[in-house]
Homo-oligomer: A and B are copies of this chain.
Amino acid sequence: MLTDRQQAILNFINEYVDDNGFPPSVREIGRQFGVYPATVQDHISALERKGYLQKKRFQSRTLSIPASWRKGGIPIVGRVAAGLPLLAQENVQDVIHLPKDWAPPGAFLLKVRGNSMEGAHILDGDYVLVHPQQSASNGEIVVALIGEEATVKRFYRTDRGVTLKAENPKFDPIEIERSEAATLSIIGRVVGVLRVMKK
């Protein structure tokens, strides 16, 4: 969707805002990339047309980036479905910000349904902070997609295949044989929990 150049400029604006608390001027962007203001305008127009930027005409430093594209933002993802792009704009409900060293870039929040991880102190309605990755080590808590369904479980690799264990005696472990490995995909590893208590 975005060209390399456009992406680079969007990144620069993002980092600039993150560092300074206000967006750069057209000339500051130009200086950074060694081009003229008019050239920067071309890029800004393109980014605006594509919905990655907003600005006000004739006013300085009024570039703003919609929350979902902003740097450092951790999106709250609605559903995790097979195939669909995880961070599609319609799928992002809101965004939170944490200190940089708490969440790796690319992390996202996912609402937990059910009490299967109660023993690991993850409750129904909690949000888990997920670090996206395709594989996992033994004993790690992962978000996995089994068929069409996303679940949070503890991950173990066995000689027969993979076992996903709940942390709740009421739930039986899920065993996936090596032959049916295609039905399982690891979305990421759980690196945090956020709980908001209602009234």
Contacts and interface: CB of A to CB of B under 8 A. Distances in A.
Interface of A: 17, 20-23, 25, 59-65, 76, 94-99, 102-103, 118, 121, 123, 129, 190-197
Contacts of A123: 121
A22 B64 contact: yes
B21 A64 contact: yes
Contacts of A129: 196
Contacts of A194: 192-195
Contact of A99 (B59, B94, B98): B94
B94 A97 contact: no
A98 B103 CA distance: 14
Contacts of A191: 196-197
B94 A96 contact: no
A59 B28 CA distance: 11
Q: Which of A17, A94, A197 has the most CB of B within 10 A?
A: A197
Most buried by B among A20, A59, A64, A121: A121
A60 B21 CA distance: 13
A76 B98 CA distance: 11
Contacts of A20: 62, 64
Given A21-B65, A96-B98, A194-B195, 20 more contacts: A20-B64, A21-B23, A21-B64, A22-B23, A22-B61, A22-B63, A25-B59, A25-B60, A60-B60, A60-B61, A61-B61, A61-B62, A118-B121, A121-B195, A191-B196, A191-B197, A192-B194, A192-B197, A193-B194, A193-B195
